[in-house]
Amino acid sequence: MLLSACAAAVVLVRAGASSWALVAALGAASLVWLAVIDLETKLLPNRIVLPATALALVAALAVDSARFAEHVLAAVAAGGFLFAAAALRPGDLGMGDAKLALLLGALLGGAVLTALLIGFCLVALAGLALLARDGRPALRRQLPLGPFLAAGALATLLLAGPA
């Protein structure tokens, strides 16, 4: 919980005083919480991801209604992309990751592309590091994608500011 609070505080300081900065800070706290859960259990609970997505979309409508459609489209596109990947390779990618991408799109709008790119690059680097350390047996390991996607979203929030 302390790590979630720290992430929220850093995002809030970086984003400045605005209604959307508060939404972004709460989103950052949720992402850290979800990353920890995924690392521990390899699950991204619907009871957290789906309400957080709904709240991000409601906040987007209330705070910046002119960009609401962007947030909805980003959520559907990001979630749909990972949903299709999970449907094609069910053992390699979970539906929780697709729902997390839905949340990232709702929170970040068009910047979700940056977050996904960063997240995929981070998981690739982690996989390469494991391969270098463990050799061929590392190819059979599965890494939870959620923490890497959350890290990509946090990096996007900190580098680009909230959507």
pLDDT digits (tens, 9 = 90+) for 82-102: 999 999 988 788 899 999 999
Between CA 51 and CA 107 the distance in angstroms is 12
Where residue 160 falls among pLDDT bands split at 50, 70, 90? confident
| 28's tokens | 């950052």
- Prediction pTM value: 0.92
CB atoms within 10 A of CB 61: 14
Between CA 121 and CA 110 the distance in angstroms is 18
pLDDT digits (tens, 9 = 90+) for 98-114: 999 999 999 999 999 99
Determine phi and psi for 99, rounding to 5 degrees: -70, -35
Burial of 113 from C-beta contacts in 10 A (0-12 / 13-18 / 19+):
middle
